[in-house]
C-alpha cells in the first residue's frame, strides 16, 4: 500500500480503518473481531493499524465517537425545525427509511448493544449524550405542540418514546435480519401508517371519543 505522508492522506487512511472496523465489529462483535481482518479489509497490514490507533479498544472507542454524532443531529434537527406535529411526523416518516437503509446508525446500534457490557461507560455516555438528547428534543417539541393546543396534554416524555420505538426497532431489525431477503419490511408503508395512527391518536378530536 502506498504511503500516507500528508496529514490528509493519513486522515483518509484513518477513516478507511474506521470503516473497516465498523464492518468487522458489526459482523463479529468487539471480542471476536480480529485486528488482522480489519487491516485486511482496509488493504493494510496488521501493524499499520497500530500506527493509527493505540489498541483494539482505542479503535473501537474512536469508531463510536466518529459515528455517533452526525446521524443524531439530523434527527434533532427535525424535532427542532418542524412547524407542526404533522409536518414533523411526515419528515420523520421520510427520513427514517433512508437512515435505516443507508446510514451506519443501525449497525452502530447493533455493535453498541452487543458490546454494551464490555464498555459500560461508553454505553452510558452514549445514552445520556445522544439518546436522551433526542428524546429530550422530541419531548420539548411535543410540549410546544401541547402549548399550541395542537395535541392534548399528556406525558410527552413517554409519547416521545412511543413515536421513536418503531424507528429504532426497525433499525435493529435491519441490522440483525438485513441479510435475510425474506425479512424485508416495507419501511415507507410502515412509517406512513405509524404517522397516520399517531396523528389520529394525538389529535384533539380523537381524544374525545
Positions in the binding site for DNA (CB under 7 A): 1-5, 10, 13, 32-36, 39, 44-48, 50-52, 55-57
Q: By the criterion CB under 8 A, which residues form the site for its own copies?
A: 26-32, 110, 112-118, 120, 123-124, 127, 154-155, 158-159, 161-162, 165-166, 168-170, 172, 175-177, 179-180, 183, 185-186, 189-190, 193-194, 196-198, 200-203, 205-207, 209
> Any idea what the Cα angle at residue 99 is, between residues 177 and 66, rounded to 5°?
95
Q: How far apart are CA 72 and CA 108, in angstroms?
A: 12
| Residue 81 binding target from its own copies, DNA, none, CB below 5 to 8 Å by type | none
In angstroms, what is the minimal distance from the CB of 28 to DNA? Answer: 9
> Any idea what the Cα angle at residue 43 is, between residues 107 and 111, rounded to 5°?
15
Other CB atoms within a 10 A radius of the CB of residue 187 amount to 21
Other CB atoms within a 10 A radius of the CB of residue 191 amount to 22
Indicate the DSSP class of residue 4: -
164: which residues sit within 8 A by CB, 6+ positions away? 134, 135, 138
Residue number, 34 or 124, with CB nearest to DNA: 34
In angstroms, what is the minimal distance from the CB of 15 to DNA? Answer: 13
| Residue 206 binding target from its own copies, DNA, none, CB below 5 to 8 Å by type | its own copies
In angstroms, what is the minimal distance from the CB of 104 to DNA? Answer: 21
In angstroms, what is the minimal distance from the CB of 110 to DNA? Answer: 19
Other CB atoms within a 10 A radius of the CB of residue 18 amount to 21
Residue number, 77 or 207, with CB nearest to its own copies: 207
Amino acid at each position: 500500500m502506498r504511503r500516507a505522508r500528508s496529514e490528509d492522506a493519513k486522515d483518509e487512511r484513518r477513516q478507511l480503518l474506521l470503516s473497516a472496523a465498523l464492518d468487522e465489529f458489526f459482523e463479529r462483535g468487539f471480542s471476536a473481531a480480529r485486528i488482522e481482518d480489519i487491516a485486511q479489509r482496509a488493504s493494510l497490514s496488521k501493524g499499520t493499524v497500530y500506527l493509527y490507533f493505540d489498541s483494539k479498544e482505542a479503535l473501537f472507542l474512536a469508531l463510536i465517537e466518529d459515528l455517533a454524532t452526525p446521524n443524531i443531529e439530523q434527527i434533532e434537527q427535525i424535532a427542532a425545525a418542524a412547524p407542526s406535529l404533522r409536518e414533523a411526523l411526515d419528515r420523520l416518516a421520510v427520513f427514517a427509511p433512508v437512515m435505516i437503509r443507508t446510514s451506519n446508525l443501525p449497525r452502530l446500534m447493533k455493535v453498541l448493544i452487543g458490546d454494551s457490557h464490555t464498555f459500560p461507560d461508553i454505553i452510558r455516555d452514549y445514552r445520556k449524550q445522544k439518546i436522551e438528547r433526542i428524546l429530550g428534543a422530541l419531548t420539548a417539541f411535543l410540549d410546544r405542540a401541547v402549548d399550541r393546543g395542537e395535541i392534548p396534554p399528556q406525558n410527552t416524555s413517554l409519547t416521545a418514546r412511543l413515536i421513536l420505538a418503531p424507528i429504532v426497532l426497525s433499525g435493529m431489525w435491519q441490522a440483525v435480519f438485513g441479510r435475510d431477503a425474506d425479512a424485508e419490511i416495507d419501511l415507507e408503508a410502515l412509517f406512513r401508517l405509524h404517522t397516520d395512527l399517531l396523528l389520529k391518536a394525538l389529535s384533539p378530536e380523537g381524544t374525545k371519543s
